[in-house]
């Protein structure tokens, strides 16, 4: 199951990268600041999921994986969305 969480994290990171490139031209450093905050939040969820799984706490790992899925939901119609591909 950590594979699904890692796929979700990579997907989120890619979408945030795309958004930052698109918005930077219009919003400048504000876009970069938002990007950094959102990227750190996604990374923290991914790290917490992996830590919980390493500790054998599957419930906690599942909670973090679900939080990653919730974060990725804003791009639900994207053709590369990991949960869309799995459906």
* Rounded mean pLDDT for each run of 10 residues along the chain, 87 residues in total: 89 93 78 90 97 97 97 94 75
What is the model's pLDDT at position 87? 55
- Global pTM? 0.84
Contacts of 57 (CB under 8 A, 6+ apart): none
Q: For residue 19, give Cα distances in angstroms to 11, 57, 58, 65, 66.
A: 12, 34, 32, 22, 22
Contacts of 76 (CB under 8 A, 6+ apart): 83, 84
What is the model's pLDDT at position 2? 73
Three-state secondary structure call for residue 43: helix
Contacts of 48 (CB under 8 A, 6+ apart): 60, 64
């Amino acid at each position: 199951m950590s594979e699904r969480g890692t796929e979700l994290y990579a997907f989120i990171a890619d979408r945030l990268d795309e958004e930052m490139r698109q918005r930077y031209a219009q919003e400048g450093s504000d876009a970069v600041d938002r990007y950094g905050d959102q990227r750190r939040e996604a990374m923290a969820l991914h790290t917490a999921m992996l830590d919980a799984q390493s500790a054998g706490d599957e419930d906690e790992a599942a909670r973090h994986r679900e939080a990653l899925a919730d974060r990725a939901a804003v791009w639900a119609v994207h053709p590369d969305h990991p949960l869309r591909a799995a459906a």
